[in-house]
Chains A and B, each alone.
Chain A
Amino acid sequence: MSNEFYTLRVNGMEHQVQDAWAGESLLYVLRERLGLPGTKGACEQGECGSCTVIMDGEAVCSCLVMAATAVEADIVTVEGLASDGEPTDVQQSFVNAGGVQCGFCTPGLIVAVHHLLDRNPAPSDLEIKEAISGNICRCTGYGRIFEAVRQARDTRAADISGGA
């Protein structure tokens, strides 16, 4: 059962990881071996959230996942959120609200917000703050990020009620 190579399932596709040191983080493997640099690395100790991915339905810090232990898991990165090359509703709301400055924290926030809204389509303001509390931004002061999440929430709610 030692891992000469192992297979990761990322955004619905199987990727074989070969000749890798087994201690590499999922963050490193995504960026450096699988060509998926959307996931960002900053603190590498689970403090900043810029490396957030969804693994088996949970938002986790990919820097704290040993990639060789993530076999059999369903991993979704920021690259896997939009299906048709168009921005997702959350991505568009970040653009609309101006919730991006340097952009480094943005992929992690986008993933965290998708995870939130997929589980809880109508989060309260407090639930939004709680859900993005693990994603640190050093530029925006969070006002516009928070506004972007509220917009995404309200747009989804309007779509649901409009379509009903």
Chain B
Amino acid sequence: MTVVNATSIEQALSALAANPQARLIQGGTDLMVEVNFNRTKVENVVSLRRVAELRRWHLDDETSMLRIGSGVPYAEMERAPLRDYVPALAEAARTVGSPQIRAAGSLGGNLGTCSPAGDGLPVLSALDAVVHLRSSAAARDVSVHDFMVGVKRNARQPHELIVAVSVPIVQGFQGYAKVGTRNAMVISAASACLVHDARAGTVRIALGAVAPTVVRARATEAWLATQTSLVGNPKVSDTLAREFGQRAAAECSPIDDHRSTADYRRHAISVLAQRLLLRAANESTATTKRGPQ
């Protein structure tokens, strides 16, 4: 087994070009569990730990797009200024593992592993994020919806590196909620991210851990837009929020497994979606002044 400790994106790409079957490691919180328990045979590893470029983020003031390097740790997303730009991402980051895990884990790892329970993925889905991929020959951008293909399967080609992900700065409430068997250090049994775009007058909701990939409840989003005006502060009654939750739950396809049951997951989604919509209605006034104006 060999390990290449890349110090630049170019070095990592040439190592990948030479050996497309190599496993990529950033924080190690997924791959090392497989290695420690002999669940995978790892022959070659390209480590991204020392690639400083992957740990940077950049806010484009003109396009209001935030580009987050694939190696930026969750700990940084919890703090200002990223917390203020993408509050839902901060909320999701705060639920990832422990402080030790959040110092190591990254969106690149979440996307690379592509578990339906990845905490960052519903946020990326609700924000219609773009995944930036590079190989030694080319660069391409893929919508996060197309990037997530199945359980632990994604659209990354073996010679490609996830270098960054871009999300828009959105004016309006955004939040993330998840349910597990306890309050901390837990992998989601079900999760949801809701983004209210107060200017465009849309609500987007993505559901995690309830299908092979993260699900966008698009029919529910479209239905909600016919029920109430979503420009500015949305007016949401308890009845409307309850039906919103029920409709969102109907759009997922959960399974029974060691973490939960399909029935419970469906119920959890209906509650999480309902709560997030009510939060959007109650907190929107306080949260529309974030990010660049």
Q: How far is the CA of A109 from the CA of B288 in the complex (A)?
A: 40
Closest to A72 in B: B50
Tell me whether A22 and B45 are in contact in the complex, defined as CB-CB below 8 angstroms, given that A63-B32, A134-B185 are known contacts: yes
When the two chains form their complex, are residues B33 and A45 in contact, meaning their CB atoms are under 8 A apart? yes
B3 at interface (Cβ–Cβ under 8 A)?
yes
- Name A63's contact: one of B31, B36, B47, B50 (CB within 8 Å): B36
B253 at interface (Cβ–Cβ under 8 A)?
no
Q: How far is the CA of A3 from the CA of B5 in the complex (A)?
A: 9
Q: Tell me the residues in window 131-154 of chain A with beta carbons closer than 8 Å to chain B beta carbons.
A: 131, 133-136
Tell me whether A2 and B3 are in contact in the complex, defined as CB-CB below 8 angstroms, given that A49-B98, A64-B27 are known contacts: yes
Closest to B186 in A: A47
Q: How far is the CA of A59 from the CA of B100 in the complex (A)?
A: 6
Dominant SS among interface residues on chain B: mixed
Closest to A23 in B: B35
Residues in B whose Cβ lies below 8 Å from that of A65: 28, 32, 104
Q: What are 24 residue pairs bridging A and B, where the CB atoms are less than 8 Å apart in the complex? A: A1-B5, A2-B4, A23-B35, A23-B45, A25-B36, A44-B33, A45-B37, A46-B32, A46-B98, A46-B100, A46-B101, A49-B98, A60-B103, A61-B29, A61-B104, A65-B28, A66-B3, A68-B47, A69-B3, A72-B50, A133-B98, A133-B99, A133-B185, A134-B99
As a 0/1 sequence over residues 1 to 13 of chain B, the CB contacts with chain A under 8 angstroms (1 = contact) are 1111100000000
Q: Tell me the residues in window 8-61 of chain B with beta carbons closer than 8 Å to chain A beta carbons.
A: 15, 25, 27-29, 31-33, 35-37, 42, 45, 47, 49-50
- How many residues of chain B are within 8 Å of chain A by beta carbon? 32
When the two chains form their complex, are residues A69 and B97 in contact, meaning their CB atoms are under 8 A apart? no
A125 at interface (Cβ–Cβ under 8 A)?
no
Residues in B whose Cβ lies below 8 Å from that of A47: 98, 185
A to B contact number (C-beta, < 8 Å): 105
> B54 to chain A: closest CB distance in Å?
14
- How many residues of chain A are within 8 Å of chain B by beta carbon? 34
Residues in B whose Cβ lies below 8 Å from that of A112: 99-100
A93 at interface (Cβ–Cβ under 8 A)?
no
Interface of A toward B, CB cutoff 8 Å: 1-3, 21-23, 25, 44-47, 49, 52, 58-61, 63-66, 68-73, 112, 130-131, 133-136
Residues in A whose Cβ lies below 8 Å from that of B73: 58
Q: How far is the CA of A71 from the CA of B4 in the complex (A)?
A: 11
> B270 to chain A: closest CB distance in Å?
29
> B50 to chain A: closest CB distance in Å?
6
